[in-house]
Structure 1
Amino acid sequence: MNLKYILLLFIILSMKGLNAQNARLDSLNTYLDTVDKFGFSGQVLVEQNGKVIINRAFGQLSENSSQNITDETLFGIASVSKQFTAAAICLLAQREKLKFDDSLGEFFSGVPNDKSNITIHQLLTHTSGLQGGDLIRDFENISKKEMLSRILSSQMKEKPGEKWRYSNIGYNVLAFIIEKVTGVSYEEFLTKEIFNPLNMLHTRIIGGKYSWEGLTAANAINGSTDVGSPMQWKYNMRTLGSGNIASTVSDLHKWNTALQNFTLLNKELTERLFYPHTQIQGTEFYGYGWFVFKDENAKTKLIEHGGDYEKGFNGVIYKYLEKDVTIFILSNKYEPFGANLSSRWAIFYAIRNYLTKEVNKLPYINKTISNTKNPDVLGNYKNKNHSSSIIISKTQNSDYSLEFEGLDVTNEIFQVPDSIKQLSQNAIDKTNHLVNELVWGNLEAYKKVIERPDRWDITFAQEWRDIIKTNGEIISFKMIAAIPNFYNDGVKCIVKLFHERGTSSMTFSWMDYGRDKLYETIPNDDIKLNRVMQKTKSGTWVIYDLFTKKWLEILVDIPNRNIRIGPLLLEKQQLKL
């Protein structure tokens, strides 16, 4: 064949491939435009074949701010922090300051016999036998010495090396080991030995001593409650080593690149981070600060770690090795009923499935959003017996927020099937009975319903006592939502508590639609359930759920002063002068 024609064919095929690649990138950006319109707040960075193809920011710094989040805005990264603690330990091993089979008894005096032989390797892989979760509450006023003492005197769940159990306090201990070996604080070691050398200029330890001057952080938002900026938070001993870092997706990308290029750690120790040391179940393993997944041929296909902090921050790094795709997502919104947390997962799944070509198209938004809003729709709406209510208000960025409360309206907005409503009634009944017992002072009622009765007093009952201490005795309560977790069989029941001094709320999370045990409670100052509501160019009002990919149309009748959601009619309330 003529060389000229071969060259022409090559150019045509190259352009065809480039056009296809550009089309996929356009599709991703179109999808993310929709994510932006319907309330996602955070950052998304995607790397494919060694190139950053997406680096975008969404939302505002806080609920009451008009200042946009940028690619330089810091977010708490929660348990994504664990990989930095693990890498710091590996860095000390590389410098021959410690070994992975060193035990606690070699670092600290007075370690009880049941913990003296716990090794660094076991702490890194969550096989130490220490209990899962945390020992103290957020921002508890406690010294490092006392914190370590509490951990060492805590009850063991298993013998060291016997079982995998995700343990935040295990990573607290690793931070104490770093400080013991280096003679400097955990913050100082990570800043001088990891963040600064890798030019991670937008990464800090929350509540630490290093200045945040010139930096901007997103406020943590729990539901609709603005919890404030991590720039003003105190040092949180609970999250030391396990979840106390703030960063950006751009800095996390620098971090990921440094690991890939062996900039910080040599090849042997980097591979040790990602090695599937401990099997969790099936193809899921744990390395050092990373979850590791294998394919059917026992080859590592995915390395990831997420993090979720109830005050608001959540995020994830996913590395798909075969596809050479890495996805970074950070968000400052955590909704106790799981919606925005699910939105973060929804974005991840959509991007992953599209780039790994498991699907050929993204969940496109087939409605055109109008920039023209009608202020007449703003106001407070209630159904006939006032059991459900909606408040429609304007946000700082001129979107319309639909805040809702009540079982009926919650079921309609989440489009809960009738069969699931019936199953969820178990959780509703159990929650109402439990809260009634608690209001009357019977805190031992927790014993009958929680997954771990041994923790009823130190965790659940103490949490309830703290609520009463802060807000006063409870006068009455109201169930405002029962929301199924569509990705498992759990139900979150949200109860509003009316105190002597204001209101608070509590989320009760049940397994198996309430037929099984209560596994978690989350106290909040005041949960506000909300959704972004947009007007289409055809004149209808809609809500879009990123996770379920479902539209919900809100029928607005301005002349008759009412709105309809499914069969539920809510009438606009008169302003009280």
Structure 2
Amino acid sequence: MRQYKKAQIMKQTRLLLGTAFWLLVAIIQASGQESIAVKIDAIVEAPVKAGRVAGASVAVVKGNETIVTKGYGFADLELDVPTPPQATYEIGSITKQFTAAAILLLAEQGKLSLADEMTKFLPDYPMQGNHVTIRQLLNHTSGIKGYTELPEFRDFQMLKRPREELVKLFSGRPFDFKPGEEQIYNNSAFFLLGLIIEKVSGKPYAEFIQEQLFDRVGMKDSYYCSERAIHKNHAHGYDSNQNVLVLKGYVDHTWLYAAGSLCSSTPDLVAWNKALHSGKLLKPESYREMTSPALLNDGTMVRYGMGISLADTNGRHTISHAGAINGFLSESDYYPNDDLVIVVLLNTRGPVSPKELAREIADAVLGKAPDRSRPFVGDLTQFTGDFTGKGRGRPATVHIGVSGDQITFTNTEIPRAPLETLKYFGNDTFGFKDTIVIFQRENGKISKLHLDTGYGHNILLRQPTNEK
């Protein structure tokens, strides 16, 4: 009897110790998550308190654990309205991944093929002897002139006109390059994809996106933006003028359309990322198409898929996209190796970058990423000089210099562009932040460089040293 009681006591003791152990583990984990949440609050609150951004919404979800989902600052500065948890924002070019997913769904239904030429659905488009596939529209390699970079669009966007008049505005312009030769970020291509979705599905773009994507994923706070309609919890947008916040400039959502006219919230964008990257939305082959790097005609791999960027963030594999529109900036990042979603939405278009905030948040959650750069051994002056080629809406020119034992990068086409220090990654490849610079040789000498930003891949030729 005594032995039985002793065994029972031992069993109960082990049970209590085990329970205490797992309770302690849970407390430690909760404390760790709370500590991370405090760090995230500090990251986001800093620019809000400094008056550099009106308000923000941030969601950070790792696996099944929600670390942060909250609003900061103000949704309306004039009335001092705090940012509500479900605040909606104009998400700009994050729209593009929804457009891409819609095209892939139509391909799954057998209604189109990514290899189809766009003229199969838009037969009146003047191709100027070129052949552009739907795939090339999706990955920005079509060469079609971008309408948002045309000077005429500044006045045109204020007008109420039929959509075909915008197509006329850019369709008659010379192509920037032969399809597949380079990659330049292109809103015209996604405008045309919206027209193709409507023609193939027989439904307006907004209706198709609502039924086939928003409703399926459960995105109850997402919709096609409007400059007139009233939506509950919609944050007011602000621009920055000489470091002072002002009411945002006018946007007519007729024109941004399938390239940038969707509105959403951070919880909805988390749900979107979870559905997209877990196979709940697209078939495996469609998802691979969407998230695989595009190839140029010469086999060069670019760091963009279909409506999404594949550029690493601080050396970590990331599937992401940014958005910029009058009054709003946005960033949606998914880290597949860590099952981490970070969404940052700002109701201010100004000096604060949601990508930089998301980068800091990733470091807070995952720790500092390992530095994969290495010292360069050799003569750095072999890389120096001016390199010029095609850019988005204007020529791209970069200057490569030397500072101490490192080379520097300056985009001379951008006013007040910062001087960036390049890290070396081997095989004549350098980089800074998310940008990669790959030098190419002819007869052993540097003759050109490939500038890959994750949203474009430009080939710039080295200029003779006697030219400025």
TM-score (norm 1): 0.56
Residue aligning to 1:156: 175
C-alpha distance in 1 between matches for 2:327 and 2:257: 18
C-alpha distance in 2 between matches for 1:259 and 1:300: 19
Q: Does 1:27 align with 2:44?
A: no
Aligned match for 1:320, one of 318, 335, 342: 335
Shift of 1:358: 0.6
Comparing 38-47 and 199-208, the one that deviates more: 199-208
C-alpha distance in 2 between matches for 1:359 and 1:103: 42
Letter in 2 for 1:67: V
* 8 Å Cα contact 1:104-1:116 kept in structure 2: no
Residue aligning to 2:234: 216
Q: 1:58 to 1:12 in 2, by over 3 A?
A: closer
Q: 1:70 to 1:453 in 2, by over 3 A?
A: closer
Q: 1:163 to 1:359 in 2, by over 3 A?
A: closer
Any idea what the Cα deviations from partners look like across 1:3-53, whole Å, max 9, x if unmatched? 829836565455444433433333333444445423342111101123221
Aligned match for 2:294, one of 273, 277, 284: 277
Residue aligning to 2:143: 129
Residue aligning to 1:192: 211
Question: SS of 2:88's equivalent?
Answer: strand
Residue aligning to 1:549: none
Question: Percent of pairs identical after alignment?
Answer: 23
C-alpha distance in 2 between matches for 1:295 and 1:243: 23
Q: 1:254 to 1:454 in 2, by over 3 A?
A: closer
Bigger relative contact order (CA 8 A; separation at least 6): 2
* 8 Å Cα contact 2:163-2:254 kept in structure 1: no
Any idea what the Cα deviations from partners look like across 1:333-380, whole Å, max 9, x if unmatched? 122xxx223xx34422221112121189xxxxxxxxxxxxxxxxxxxx
Residue aligning to 1:356: 366
C-alpha distance in 1 between matches for 2:393 and 2:143: 17
C-alpha distance in 1 between matches for 2:418 and 2:97: 33
* 8 Å Cα contact 1:75-1:217 kept in structure 2: yes
Shift of 1:56: 1.4
Any idea what the Cα deviations from partners look like across 1:300-353, whole Å, max 9, x if unmatched? 8211111122x2211101111112221100111122xxx223xx3442222111
C-alpha distance in 2 between matches for 1:43 and 1:491: 34
C-alpha distance in 1 between matches for 2:48 and 2:306: 34
C-alpha distance in 1 between matches for 2:359 and 2:141: 30
Shift of 1:293: 3.5
Q: How many residues align?
A: 366
Shift of 1:190: 1.3
Any idea what the Cα deviations from partners look like across 1:470-523, whole Å, max 9, x if unmatched? xxxxxxxxxxxxxxxxx974699xxxxxxxxxxxxxxx825577xxxxxxxxxx
Question: SS of 2:185's equivalent?
Answer: coil
Residue aligning to 1:173: 192
Comparing 220-229 and 191-200, the one that deviates more: 220-229
Q: Which runs of 5+ in 2 are unaligned?
A: 1-9, 371-387, 395-407, 420-468
Residue aligning to 1:227: 247
Shift of 1:104: 1.7
Q: Does 1:64 align with 2:78?
A: yes
* 8 Å Cα contact 1:132-1:168 kept in structure 2: yes
C-alpha RMSD of the superposition: 3.7
Residue aligning to 1:468: none
* 8 Å Cα contact 2:294-2:302 kept in structure 1: no
Aligned match for 1:332, one of 326, 347, 353: 347
* 8 Å Cα contact 1:45-1:56 kept in structure 2: yes
Residue aligning to 2:276: 259
Residue aligning to 2:105: 91
Shift of 1:133: 5.7
* 8 Å Cα contact 1:60-1:68 kept in structure 2: yes
C-alpha distance in 1 between matches for 2:160 and 2:257: 13
* 8 Å Cα contact 1:74-1:218 kept in structure 2: no
Residue aligning to 2:264: 247
Q: 1:74 to 1:139 in 2, by over 3 A?
A: farther
Residue aligning to 1:528: none
C-alpha distance in 2 between matches for 1:20 and 1:300: 22
Shift of 1:169: 0.8
C-alpha distance in 2 between matches for 1:13 and 1:44: 27
Comparing 250-259 and 83-92, the one that deviates more: 250-259
Q: 1:59 to 1:163 in 2, by over 3 A?
A: same
Any idea what the Cα deviations from partners look like across 1:251-305, whole Å, max 9, x if unmatched? 1112112213433322321232212223799986111100113699xx9821111
C-alpha distance in 1 between matches for 2:83 and 2:56: 7
C-alpha distance in 2 between matches for 1:170 and 1:353: 34
Q: Does 1:145 align with 2:164?
A: yes
Aligned pairs (5 A) from 1:384-533: 489=410, 509-511=415-417
Q: 1:180 to 1:357 in 2, by over 3 A?
A: same
Q: 1:359 to 1:158 in 2, by over 3 A?
A: closer
Q: 1:53 to 1:283 in 2, by over 3 A?
A: farther
Shift of 1:216: 2.8
Question: SS of 2:181's equivalent?
Answer: coil
Q: Which runs of 5+ in 1 are unaligned?
A: 361-449, 457-486, 493-507, 514-577
C-alpha distance in 2 between matches for 1:222 and 1:31: 20
Q: 1:276 to 1:294 in 2, by over 3 A?
A: farther
Residue aligning to 1:479: none
Question: SS of 1:26's equivalent?
Answer: helix
Question: SS of 2:270's equivalent?
Answer: helix
Q: 1:345 to 1:277 in 2, by over 3 A?
A: closer
Letter in 1 for 2:415: S
Shift of 1:65: 2.2
Aligned match for 1:290, one of 292, 299, 308: 308
Q: Does 1:308 align with 2:308?
A: no
C-alpha distance in 2 between matches for 1:453 and 1:119: 22
Q: 1:168 to 1:46 in 2, by over 3 A?
A: same
Letter in 2 for 1:180: K
Q: 1:119 to 1:70 in 2, by over 3 A?
A: same
C-alpha distance in 1 between matches for 2:389 and 2:247: 29
C-alpha distance in 1 between matches for 2:342 and 2:299: 24
* 8 Å Cα contact 1:202-1:215 kept in structure 2: no
Letter in 2 for 1:122: Q
* 8 Å Cα contact 2:239-2:249 kept in structure 1: no
Residue aligning to 1:536: none
Question: SS of 2:176's equivalent?
Answer: coil
Aligned match for 2:95, one of 49, 64, 81: 81
C-alpha distance in 1 between matches for 2:230 and 2:146: 32
